[in-house]
Amino acid sequence: MIGEFIDQENLVASRSAIKEIFFLSSRSGAKLSGSEKEIFFQIWAGYYLDILPAQTLVFKTNLGKVVGYLTGCYNSIAALGLYKNLFYYRAFETYYSQYPTHFHVNCHPDFRNKGIGGALVEEFVQNSAKQGATGVHLVTGSSARNHRFYQSHEFYHKATKGFSSGDLVLLGRKCSA
């Protein structure tokens, strides 16, 4: 079952489940400890939970366990905290007028390949369209395993930018009216 993060009965428990999934899904984050680990989480996920809690979705099992989440942002141009903290954010900004909303999605490793990630993405695209957005984008590694997943949800390559840590790509999908 999909719900908005802001509507969760127990926000502290939901946040901690999201944090666990986040670090199970992030190779670079898993290597960190202490305050570095906290800062890393805050930059990539905590910002969305704190500032955009109604734009973030969680997937819960029938038993109420959070097993997947999608941190979303309906207005990428207005997300000043992301400009400040996400190293790649400004590099792709010319695409934000065409693809104003963006997201990051992760599922618990024990609950992948069950359609949960896909359901979260489709819900966010629908929500974005309801907000009047013309398109949705995401940024991922140019050689990440997830390209086929995104392609099956109609996200296509729009731009590549090079960074010292490797190339990143912006994948975009137009919203239908």
Ligand X SMILES: CC(C)(COP(=O)(O)OP(=O)(O)OC[C@H]1O[C@@H](n2cnc3c(N)ncnc32)[C@H](O)[C@@H]1OP(=O)(O)O)[C@@H](O)C(=O)NCCC(=O)NCCS
Q: Using CB under 6 A, list all residues that contact ligand X.
A: 25, 104-107, 112-118, 138, 140, 145-146, 148-149, 152
Least distance (Å) from ligand X to the CB of residue 177? 25
| DSSP state letter for 164 | T
Q: Which is nearer to ligand X, 132 or 141 (CB)?
A: 141
Residue 21 or 133: the one with the smaller Cβ distance to ligand X is 21
Contacts 24+ apart (CB under 8 A), 172-176: 172/95, 172/98, 172/99, 172/135, 172/136, 172/137, 173/99, 173/125, 173/135, 173/136, 173/137, 174/134, 174/135, 175/125, 175/128, 175/129, 175/133, 175/134, 175/135, 175/136, 176/129
Minimum distance from residue 103 beta carbon to ligand X (Å): 9
Residue 61 vs 132, nearer CB to ligand X: 61
Task: Name residue 57's beta-bridge partners.
Answer: 4, 70
Report the run of H or E that residue 136 belongs to, with start and end: strand 135-141
For residue 166, the minimal CB distance to ligand X (Å) is 14
| Identity of the residue numbered 67 | V
CB nearer ligand X, residue 9 or residue 102: 102
Shortest Cβ 150–ligand X spacing (Å): 8
Residue nearest to ligand X (CB): 117
Q: Are 141 and 168 in contact (CB under 8 A)?
A: yes
Residues ≥6 apart with Cβ < 8 Å to 160: 142, 167, 168, 169, 170
Tell the smallest beta-carbon distance from residue 130 to ligand X (Å). Answer: 21
- Residue closer to ligand X by CB (options 115, 132) is 115
